[in-house]
Chains A and B, each alone.
Chain A
Amino acid sequence: AQSVTQPDIHITVSEGASLELRCNYSYGATPYLFWYVQSPGQGLQLLLKYFSGDTLVQGIKGFEAEFKRSQSSFNLRKPSVHWSDAAEYFCAVGRDDKIIFGKGTRLHILP
């Protein structure tokens, strides 16, 4: 069965530092991969998506992610975080009308 694993429940970084959020998926075929962000009490906003082609994907708000088939990973990165990046981040796999979400990573930013 397809699944998504986000191994880090919480991550804390200092403002201006670089960020990497990990995501591993389990799916037999080429997956559709997504990263969503959710601020407290808000809906989900799509940061970026991977369907095919270039394995380095650029998204909004300065985020990027790299698809590595050999490692079944789709890690999210940002070179320099801002206080406004504090939120919950969900990695997700899409297939057959469904999105399978990971459990999420809560990002905390230190001033």
Chain B
Amino acid sequence: DTEVTQTPKHLVMGMTNKKSLKCEQHMGHRAMYWYKQKAKKPPELMFVYSYEKLSINESVPSRFSPECPNSSLLNLHLHALQPEDSALYLCASSQYKTTPSYNEQFFGPGTRLTVL
């Protein structure tokens, strides 16, 4: 299985809602990533988890809260978002450090988030 899955595909939420995005991989990868992508822009890194521990937080606002319950699963909890947070949220995974390919990231299809 060489796939990263993300649910839901689309999400519409109000500014007072709490919602979660889910990402799953079964490739045995030990690094997982959240990216935010605005229209016509490259993906921007938000968080990196290595061996289920948060290793990189790119100064993301606290209304985004990541969680890595196990090596296959990555969540992004959303609370009190702003309309400017509307974007495509991409999850990715990779092997970690022990081989030259550790930077090769496999991406999921993304969750299209709209904040009203």
Residues of A within 8 A of B (CB): 32, 34, 36, 41-46, 49, 51-52, 90, 94-95, 97-99, 101-104
Q: How far is the CB of B88 from chain A (nearest CB, A)?
A: 7
Specify which chain B residues have a CB less than 8 angstroms from the CB of A98 in the assembled complex: 45, 48, 56
Stretch at the interface among B64-72, B74-82, B96-104: B96-104
Q: How far is the CB of B12 from chain A (nearest CB, A)?
A: 15
Task: Report how many residues on chain B are interfacial, defined by Cβ distance under 8 Å.
Answer: 26
Residues B109 and A99 in contact, CB atoms below 8 Å apart: no
Residues B100 and A52 in contact, CB atoms below 8 Å apart: yes
Q: How far is the CB of A70 from chain B (nearest CB, A)?
A: 22
Specify which chain A residues have a CB less than 8 angstroms from the CB of B90 in the assembled complex: 43-44
Residues of B within 8 A of A (CB): 4, 6, 31, 40-43, 45, 48, 50, 55-56, 88, 90, 92, 100-101, 103-110, 112
- Taken together as a complex, chains A and B put the C-alpha atoms of A41 and B109 apart, in Å, by 8
- Taken together as a complex, chains A and B put the C-alpha atoms of A90 and B41 apart, in Å, by 10
Residues A46 and B106 in contact, CB atoms below 8 Å apart: yes
What are 8 sample pairs from A and B whose C-beta atoms fall under 8 A apart? Answer: A32-B103, A42-B110, A43-B110, A49-B104, A97-B50, A99-B103, A103-B41, A104-B42
Q: Chain A: which residue is nearest B100 at the CB level?
A: A51
Residues B43 and A46 in contact, CB atoms below 8 Å apart: no
